[in-house]
Amino acid sequence: MLDWRQKLLRCLCLLVFTSPLVALASNNAVLKQVKVNTATQNDTQLTLNLTEPAKYQWFFLQNPNRLVLDFQQTDNQASLNNLPLTNNTIVTKIRAGTRAQDGLRLVLDLNQPASILVTSLPPTSQYAERLIIDLSARANNNAVITTPKPATYQATPLMATPASIKPVISLPSHVPPRKLVVVIDPGHGGKDPGASGPGGVHEKDVVLAISRDLYKLLQNQPGITVYMTRYGDYYIGLRQRLQIARRDKADIFIAIHADAYKDSYSTGASVFALSVRGASSEAARWLAEKENYSELGGVDLNGKNDTLRSVLIDLSQTATISSSLWLGGDVLSQISRISPLHKDKVEQAPFVVLKSPDIASILVETGFISNPSEERALSNAAYQQKMALAIESGINQYFKQHPPSSA
């Protein structure tokens, strides 16, 4: 009969020798291989071969220039040594690290700003997921959005594939990139002064000054076209502001306001996105007014039955609210550097000016004009410029990580 020491030893042996089998049972995707093809000093192509499809996202960082690729539930078994990378290629080095919850992070060191195009190739008998990442030198450092270059990539399978499989990816011919469009909406105006501070400062004047500063900052960026719903002290209806944004084909809509409360103690800036309740009421309006809303985010709604129209509107609004929350978070994080926050996260409310189902929209409350201290700050030209610069920085941060298609 085995004594307790022998039983313990047997259990330990079983644990040691079976642990590799447990590791093999993981459902994680595995990055098996990274291939590098450097066509010129200005163009580098990476091929990532994985055993399973994996969810991923990418973003650029600056100072120094880097591209970060984050994969969910993915392990790394690819060797990143001896890749044909030099200081003269766009990608100078590739590093791998782990993220929370079984994630993989690849960091690509870049010797200059670059544009990116990611395509997927059909699976082979060896790899279920193959990603092609094309990086090209970006002549205009202010241009954040990538545009496919005219090319055709012929995949070279690592193992023999059936003759019927021809993994060819054809990219569209070159189309000049359009500019990003920002519409700024200074609240109130004309007969509607908005809130007034204890010192007699009107909201409509403060937000117009901040909006003008923001307009000038964005105008200086060659990749952006910027408009305002009002350029002076005159009244515009809420629905008219939405119509202006749609007329100008806005990618994002920024409403600028100053908050007020019955007491003089409330302080801090806020950012709002549309609430679900506001989205629901707008969806009903779109369904009812078919003749006025026949196009949604490039999708023609004419001739669609109510059920299909409803589904398309809901899908668009869900995506737009998500984009608005991202935009609001980026703007709020920048404002927090110059102003106390009334709430430290993006709030949601059924404001009419936020109800475009296909335009990411936020409302920025720049502070409480009913608070004497904040009234003085909001009426100060230097502070107005700081607020405009913070909002601009948030917009840039959003566009870098969430670039609209075709821009």
Higher-scoring residue by pLDDT: 14, 178: 178
Its pTM stands at 0.56
295-322 mean pLDDT: 66
Asked if the model's pLDDT at residue 148 lies above 70, the reply is: no
Confidence of residue 144 (pLDDT cuts 50, 70, 90): very low
Q: What is the CATH number of domain 29-170?
A: 2.60.40.3500
User: What local confidence, expressed as pLDDT, does residue 167 receive?
Assistant: 44
281-300 mean pLDDT: 56
Asked if the model's pLDDT at residue 183 lies above 60, the reply is: yes
User: What local confidence, expressed as pLDDT, does residue 317 receive?
Assistant: 72
Cβ contacts of 16 within 8 Å, gap of 6 or more: none
Q: Which of 111, 50, 46 is nearest to 75 (CA)?
A: 50
83-89 mean pLDDT: 84
Q: What is the pLDDT of residues 229-272, one digit of tens each?
A: 998 998 888 888 988 898 888 999 999 999 998 888 889 999 99
Q: Which of 3-12, 293-302, 332-341 has the lowest mean pLDDT?
A: 3-12
Q: 225: helix, coil or strand?
A: strand
Confidence of residue 289 (pLDDT cuts 50, 70, 90): low
Higher-scoring residue by pLDDT: 57, 25: 57
Q: 131: helix, coil or strand?
A: strand
**Where does 264-380 have alpha helices with state H?**
276-288, 306-335, 372-378
Domain ranges for the chain: 29-170, 180-401
Estimate the crossing angle of helix 306-335 against helix 276-288, to 10 degrees.
Answer: 140
370: left (phi over 0), alpha (psi -120 to 50) or beta: alpha
Task: Report the percentage of the chain scoring pLDDT > 90.
Answer: 34
Asked if the model's pLDDT at residue 83 lies above 90, the reply is: no
Report d(CA 334, CA 397) in Å as an integer.
Answer: 9
User: What local confidence, expressed as pLDDT, does residue 39 receive?
Assistant: 59
Cis peptide leading into 64, omega within 30 of 0?
yes
Q: What is the CA radius of gyration of the chain?
A: 27
User: What local confidence, expressed as pLDDT, does residue 164 receive?
Assistant: 40
User: What local confidence, expressed as pLDDT, does residue 174 receive?
Assistant: 53
Strands (E), 81-162: 91-99, 103-110, 114-121, 129-137, 152-154
Highest mean pLDDT among 43-57, 276-290, 374-388: 374-388
Asked if the model's pLDDT at residue 30 lies above 80, the reply is: yes
User: What local confidence, expressed as pLDDT, does residue 141 receive?
Assistant: 38
User: What local confidence, expressed as pLDDT, does residue 310 receive?
Assistant: 64
CA dist list (Å): 178 to 57, 206, 223, 225, 251: 23, 32, 8, 9, 11
Q: What is the pLDDT of residues 32-67, one digit of tens each?
A: 999 887 756 677 888 899 998 888 888 888 888 889
DSSP state letter for 354: G
Max intra-chain CA distance, the chain = 97
Domain 180-401: CATH superfamily is Zn-dependent exopeptidases (3.40.630.40)
Asked if the model's pLDDT at residue 149 lies above 50, the reply is: no
Confidence of residue 165 (pLDDT cuts 50, 70, 90): very low
Q: What is the pLDDT of residues 94-138, one digit of tens each?
A: 998 887 667 889 999 998 888 887 777 777 778 888 888 878 776
